[in-house]
Amino acid sequence: MSEIICPSCGTQAPAGAVFCDNCGFDLRHVAPSSPAPAPVATMPEAAAAGPNCPVCGHPNVPGAVFCENCGAEMSATPASQPLAEQAAIPAETPVIVDETPLPEPAAQPVPAPFVPLTAIPGGLLVRSTNASLPFPPGKQAIVLGREDPVSGIFPDIDLDPHGGLESGVGRQHARLVLQNGQVFLEDLDSVNGTALNRQRLAPRQPSPVKDGDEIRLGKLVLLYSAA
């Protein structure tokens, strides 16, 4: 293939080159030289590819100082990506951390621990007269009935002065007893029966009692108070 020898610097240029790759001399009026005696091995395409001209975009051989098409200086080729492409990269959005302290959790009420009773507290209230009958202190069993000195029967709560005889209350009608820290009501085989909240109790079968419960001995109505 014919070549052109640059008259300015002596660099060889391919036929048809307009400017010298090395010094930029105008080669349009330089005659091409005779063909080269032997073919020169070409570099692989990937290795021979050089930078494109920054002015006209023409591909040049590696190491070219001036574009062989338009003569522009190749050193003006930008090394980094264009500013337009750089501006297209979005900046990272800053993460805003909320440092407001969390409110303290509301304190939960602590239930009072269960304390088993050691004695029966409170007393009875006669509904018909509102008479208050306090329990003897420190006792774990309280007998309800009617006093009989002749027979030697002395219940803890004597209901004779409160209409016990007329209401059918027996001498030893029922009792309140403390079991495992809880108050129970027990019928003592009475003739006229014992009821708790209008439910008749089986004899000798204790049932738990709580504050405000109604107790019936025969026809006598009492209210249990734990205070």
Tokens of 33: 């030289």
Q: What is the pLDDT of residue 123?
A: 97
Q: What is the pLDDT of residue 88?
A: 57
Instruction: For residue range 18-30, list pLDDT tens digits in order.
Output: 788 888 888 777 7
Q: What is the pLDDT of residue 44?
A: 46
Which domains are present in the chain?
1-79 (no CATH), 123-225 (2.60.200.20)
What whole-number distance in Å separates Cα of residue 75 and Cα of residue 105?
Answer: 69
Instruction: For residue range 130-142, list pLDDT tens digits in order.
Output: 999 999 999 999 9
Q: What is the pLDDT of residue 218?
A: 96
pTM: 0.51
CB of 1 closer than 8 Å to CB of 36: yes
- 9, amino acid identity: C
Q: What is the pLDDT of residue 147?
A: 96
CB of 137 closer than 8 Å to CB of 118: no
Q: Which portions of the chain are predicted below pLDDT 50?
A: 40-41, 43-47, 77-81, 84
Backbone angles phi and psi of 186, in degrees to 5: -135, 130
Helix/strand/coil percent split, the chain, to 5: 5, 25, 65
